[in-house]
Amino acid sequence: MNGIQGVPGGVFASSIFGGAFARGGVVADDAAWLRALLDVEAALARAVERAGLAPKGAGAVVTAAAADASRFDIAALSQSTALTGNPVPGLARLLTVAVADRAARSAVHRGATSQDIMDTAAMLLARDALGRAAADLAAAAEATAGLAEAHRRSLMIGRTLLQQAVPVTFGLVAAGWLAGLDSAVSGLEAVSTQRLAVQFGGAAGTLASFDDAGAEVKSLLAEELGLADPPLPWHTERLRIIDVATAAARALAAMSKIARDVTLLAQTEVGEIAEGPAQAKASTSAPRRGGSSAMPNKNNPVAAVAILGCARQGPGLLATLVASAEQEYQRAAGAWHAEWQPYGHLLQLTVSAASWTHDLLANLRVDTGKMAANLSAAGGLPLAERVTALLRPSLGGPDSHDVVAVAAARSASSGIPLRDVLLATPEIEDKLAQAGISQAQIEQALDPVGYLGASDAFIDAALAAHQSKR
């Protein structure tokens, strides 16, 4: 994994697609689910002991038995899942066998139902995943803030509906990216601190097997795991799952906007930005990142493409989780089960995309010369709006628009700069003369430096908002 030039270090899932969709640390795969389930079972044993409902030392014994996840065979758990509908009953049996002290076995899975263990494990997975994603996105935001400040004067063509519009600066573009990243981080952190809670209700949400000690055990379990202690079990109230998924989907949306801009600005014909540090010499033993299996000349924007690949899967996964929130009575027949894979996959994709986004923005190469050249090659057309505004006081809105529209059409079809069309076309010259517009005024109107509006103020505002979040 780490021997390929251009592929940064990090933990990838053991999948052929792991480098793209499981970058940034393995979260929510089978091994992570197993680890989380065992952590919940161990914490439950400690909570039961603390409540005086298990022999002294039972919690430590069960925790020790649960510490080594490798002793629990995932394939065997998969087989047991086919019999019971979820992996927890099989896991509880295996954990009980692994506890050598017979007296301590009474603390294993005490008073719990499968959903308690699964849902609480899901909260642990979310805490890990959202924390990893927030950290990478915060680092990406720092890099983006640097781009916004460094390029507040880097002129480029603004583009709307994929067509050239008025001039902007790359600093303003980066400031827009920064605002999205900061919002995504805030959303991830809000869910992490406010919505991750233990789920513990027993067979039907009453914890009846504990008599009047159920609420105490629930609170102790939350304390053991460092999760919030909700007022009551939430086994068929699934808004916490939806909140986790929504925060993840929002983050993916913010990342996808940046990645799409990068793919467009990195097109060969545009060439205003590029991914990664300057490429080292390629060799047959160390292929560079961005290469093609068919075209040796290619330098594909791999990070941006991977982010988009992750983000495109997000809406469907979120939709499945929202649709699964309709759950019957005290345990859903199928809807709860439908959550497990899309929930874990969405977390995995969010972590992966965040890792790619950090890599992308920390190493982005900006070609200000190409930005300036592309703007110059537009022949003044991006400033047509400003020329119209110059003529409006004398000619009125419709006439000024029509005059500039005719000039712009001639400029576009002939390749002659807009300035020359305006100043060398007799009927347009007459209009300008009638309006008292001089050549110097036209040339000033066609200077993009003077038509950036509130760009500086917007960049300052984005940087100030980012600084306050830090």
* 250: CATH: 1.20.200.10
Examine residue 459 and state whether it is found in any structural domain, yes or no.
Answer: no
Indicate the length of the chain as a whole number: 470
Determine the Cα–Cα distance for residues 379 and 349; give it in Å rounded to an integer.
Answer: 43
CB atoms within 10 A of CB 328: 11
Strands 365-366 and 273-274: antiparallel
Strands 163-169 and 155-160: antiparallel
Is residue 329 domain-shared with residue 237, that is, in the same domain? yes
Any bridge partners for residue 274, and if so which?
A: 365
Helix (H) or strand (E) holding 274: strand 273-274
Picking from 368, 393, 416, the residue at the C-terminal end of a domain is 368
Domain assignment of residue 408, given as a range: 381-445
Picking from 339, 368, 397, the residue at the C-terminal end of a domain is 368
Is residue 318 domain-shared with residue 385, that is, in the same domain? no
Instruction: Enumerate residues 6+ apart whose C-beta is below 8 A from 304.
Output: 258, 259, 260, 262, 263, 266, 275, 360
- Find where tokens 């200077």 sit: 447
CATH of the domain at 407: 1.10.40
Examine residue 11 and state whether it is found in any structural domain, yes or no.
Answer: no
The pair phi, psi for residue 165, each rounded to 5°, is: -125, -145
Tokens representing residue 396 in the block:
């009125």
Examine residue 322 and state whether it is found in any structural domain, yes or no.
Answer: yes
Is residue 411 domain-shared with residue 360, that is, in the same domain? no
Is residue 245 domain-shared with residue 336, that is, in the same domain? yes
Examine residue 470 and state whether it is found in any structural domain, yes or no.
Answer: no
179 contacts 213 by C-beta, under 8 angstroms: no
Is residue 278 domain-shared with residue 205, that is, in the same domain? yes
The Cα angle at residue 349 between residues 243 and 161, in degrees rounded to 5: 90
**What is the count of structural domains for the chain?**
2
Is residue 62 domain-shared with residue 206, that is, in the same domain? yes
Task: Report DSSP letters for 353-395, one per residue.
Answer: HHHHHHHHHHT-EE-HHHHHHHHHHTTTGGGHHHHHHHHHHHH
- Residues assigned a catalytic role: 292, 331
On the CB side of 58, how many CA atoms lie within 13 Å of its CA?
Answer: 24
Picking from 343, 368, 393, the residue at the C-terminal end of a domain is 368
Examine residue 162 and state whether it is found in any structural domain, yes or no.
Answer: yes
Is residue 363 domain-shared with residue 386, that is, in the same domain? no
Instruction: Enumerate residues 6+ apart whose C-beta is below 8 A from 403.
Output: 391, 395, 428, 431
Per-residue pLDDT of the chain (470 residues; tens, 9 = 90+): 333 334 444 445 557 777 888 888 767 789 999 999 999 999 999 999 999 999 999 999 999 999 999 999 999 999 999 999 999 999 999 999 999 999 999 999 999 999 999 999 999 999 999 999 999 999 999 999 999 999 999 999 999 999 999 999 999 999 999 999 999 999 999 999 999 999 999 999 999 999 999 999 999 999 999 999 999 999 999 999 999 999 999 999 999 999 999 999 999 999 999 998 655 444 444 455 555 444 445 579 999 999 999 999 999 999 999 999 999 999 999 999 999 999 999 999 999 999 999 999 999 999 999 999 999 999 999 999 999 999 999 888 898 999 999 999 999 999 999 999 999 988 888 888 888 899 999 999 999 999 999 999 999 999 999 999 87
Is residue 132 domain-shared with residue 196, that is, in the same domain? yes
Is residue 332 domain-shared with residue 396, that is, in the same domain? no
Is residue 214 domain-shared with residue 100, that is, in the same domain? yes
Q: Is 169 helix (H, G, I), strand (E, B) or coil?
A: strand
Examine residue 3 and state whether it is found in any structural domain, yes or no.
Answer: no
Is residue 359 domain-shared with residue 401, that is, in the same domain? no
Is residue 235 domain-shared with residue 97, that is, in the same domain? yes
Examine residue 123 and state whether it is found in any structural domain, yes or no.
Answer: yes
Examine residue 347 and state whether it is found in any structural domain, yes or no.
Answer: yes
Q: Is 206 helix (H, G, I), strand (E, B) or coil?
A: coil
